Amino acid sequence: MHKSFDLFFVSSNRHKYQEAKNILNLYGIKIGFLKSNLNEIQSNSLHSIAIEKAQDAFSKFKKPVVIEDDGLFIDFLDGFPGPYSSYVFKTIGNKGILNLLKNNRKAKFVSIITYCDKNIVKSFEGKLDGKISIIQKGKGWGYDPIFIPNGLKKTFAEINNKNELSHRYNALKKFSKWYLYKQE
């Protein structure tokens, strides 16, 4: 019997799943989506948050799972919002972030992909340096309308090839190489 999915992406955010699905398809990895609000500890460490979420997801579904946690780290704000990015976005949004910034707009996105099954918990990190735009540009989700990757003049929300260069892509690429090797 052919199984339809290699593993499951667990999240409350369908946008993250769609990006992960499109990226993992490039490597021949088929993922399903399990919508769930996972236990998210308060921590300054994305790695700790991701591991906790992955273990929570596995305990709920008893299937090999992958989760993603990420953060926007802004130099001028000493790395804030970092692991609190989701809360900050819900609270003050992109306009609030733009209002906090002065001249130094350097920032980076960090993504942690964590895989969990009954024997293994393993994380993979992807980073992308860039800057925060002066105004929101384009229609995208999350911080995409204000993040400009280094070397580009457009925000994530304005470009068509985000999945070929994003922090999430970098982490999923590392995960894919490990996962495919593990399957051999």
Please state, in angstroms and as integers, the Cα–Cα distance from residue 130 to each residue in 38, 91, 107, 165, 183, following that order: 29, 23, 5, 12, 35
List Cα–Cα distances, 86 to 71, 90, 149, in angstroms.
8, 6, 20
Nearest alpha carbon to residue 89 among 43, 146, 138? 146
The single-letter code of the amino acid at 25 is N
Of the candidates 69, 78, 129, 144, the residue annotated as catalytic is: 69
Q: Catalytic site residue 70?
A: no
Q: Kindly list the catalytic residues.
A: 69
